[in-house]
Amino acid sequence: METILDEAQLAIPETSVVANVIVYRNADGSHVVQIYEWSSLKPGKGETNKALACLRRQYPGIITAHDCGNPGDESYAYWQHQLAKERIDFAYDDNGDDIDTAG
């Protein structure tokens, strides 16, 4: 697996989303996107959905979000929603445990 992007402050094109992501490319050409920080400068405008779609187009493969808070946190609910909508493939809470769509 080769690291092709390691950005502490990645501005997602055509959105107001700033992220901390690492992208790996597998030998078969697929990608693994690891999200460690994620925020929108314009909350509630759908920008994060656009940004996730942009990452999916740019780096086809698996998208995983890390450090997503804990049950009861707004961030946890946000990533749980993104999982349910299949905008990301995996999410882990602040303890490293799987988040699933059922809670």
Single pTM value for the model: 0.87
Question: Could you tell me what percent of the chain has a pLDDT over 70?
Answer: 90
Residue 89, pLDDT > 70, answer yes
How confident is the model over 64-86, as pLDDT tens digits?
999 999 999 999 999 999 999 99
Question: How many other CB atoms are there within 10 angstroms of residue 16's CB atom?
Answer: 16
CA quadruple 61, 76, 42, 65: dihedral, nearest 10: -20
Q: Which residues contact 29 (CB under 8 A, 6 or more apart)?
A: none
Instruction: Indicate the pairing of strand 31-40 with strand 2-11.
Output: unpaired
Amino acid at 26: N
CB distance 38 to 17 below 8 Å: yes
